[in-house]
Structure 1
Amino acid sequence: MGRISMIILDTNIISERMTPNPDPRITHWAESIAGAEMALTAITVHEIRYGILRLGETRKSTDLAARWAVFRSLLSASQVLPFDEVAAEMTARIAVDCELRGISIPSHDAQIAGICLAHRASLATRNEKDFEAIAGLELINPYL
């Protein structure tokens, strides 16, 4: 499949980094990979924004929106990877493969994995169980 040259951050990793007191393991991991090519997916942007917006006009939503704005300002537009035709093809293959093996995978997880495979990127996630059945997807668990 080729050399992994990029790390895509799953939603749970970004959510943890946005908390007032992130888990020290995540902070240490982020420092240990400084300089690595990092990205996130448009699916993660949706999940983060959805989570903030569904809180309504609350202090918590205002705080999270501010933290998201700071995090997002650190990324260039090219670091948010789209769900394009190649990713859609990879996602379809993932969904069919899992279905044939009797494995249930939420569509948003399949889409994130499809984007990772399309970009030959590894996925940093705490939820390895959600992705472990996907052939060819390299997982990184920063909590270990």
Structure 2
Amino acid sequence: MILIDTNVISEPLKPAPYAAVLTWLDAQAIETLFISAISIAERRFGIASMPRGKRQMILHGRLEDEVLPIFEKRILPFNVGTSQFYANLMASGRASGKVIGKADRYTAATAAEHDLAVATRDASPFEAAGLRVINPWATWTFKITGLEFEPHQSVG
């Protein structure tokens, strides 16, 4: 089960999305993917902040008419239960000197509450929160050394 971060939600909406992200999304069982209400707020803010015009209208339509209906039953709220995970993550981060941005704090707490991995391009805040992170921008290749295969991660 995976919580997809705002940057993963946004990537397919770009004019030229990164192919590895599309491939990764296509390979996932849709029922295993979740989004947070926080990511929806971030995306809506990004669209509302754009200059008015065709691109803004297209992105608004794609988010509201394509993305949200797909995730209708898998949008996770930030609620009173999530607030306890938030408090624990923030206290732990403060004690260890790890700083996490505001939206990422809420997203991390949501993932922690539901025991979800986080799919994101920006792994560091979620790793700092102790969460399992998946980077859909990363591609894995293998090289042969002797008779062994060695995985090498490259990021686009």
TM-score by length of 2: 0.82
Q: CA deviation at 1:72?
A: 1.5
Partner of 1:83: 78
Q: Could you tell me which of 3, 6, 24 is aligned with 1:8?
A: 3
CA–CA distance in 2 between the matches of 1:15 and 1:113?
18
The Cα offsets for residues 95-127 of structure 1, whole Å up to 9 and x where unpaired, read as 111111112111211110100010111110010
Distance 1:45 1:35, change over 3 A: closer
Q: Could you tell me which of 72, 79, 101 is aligned with 1:106?
A: 101
Give the strand-richer structure, 1 or 2: 2
Once the two structures are aligned, what percentage of the paired residues are identical?
28
Q: Could you tell me which of 35, 42, 49 is aligned with 1:47?
A: 42
**Structure 1, unaligned stretches of length 5 or more?**
1-5
Amino acid at match of 2:20: R
**Structure 2, unaligned stretches of length 5 or more?**
139-156
1:138 paired to 2:139: no
Count of paired positions: 137
1:73 paired to 2:69: yes
Amino acid at match of 1:64: L
Bigger radius of gyration among the two? 2
SS at match of 1:132: helix
Q: CA deviation at 1:57?
A: 2.5
SS at match of 1:21: coil
The Cα offsets for residues 48-107 of structure 1, whole Å up to 9 and x where unpaired, read as 00001112522221121122121212222x211000112111011111111111121112
Partner of 1:20: 15
Q: CA deviation at 1:130?
A: 2.2
Q: Which runs of 4+ in 1 moved over 4 A?
A: none
C-alpha contact 2:126 2:132 (8 A) present in aligned 1: no
Amino acid at match of 2:112: L
TM-score by length of 1: 0.88
Bigger RCO (CA 8 Å, 6+ sep): 1
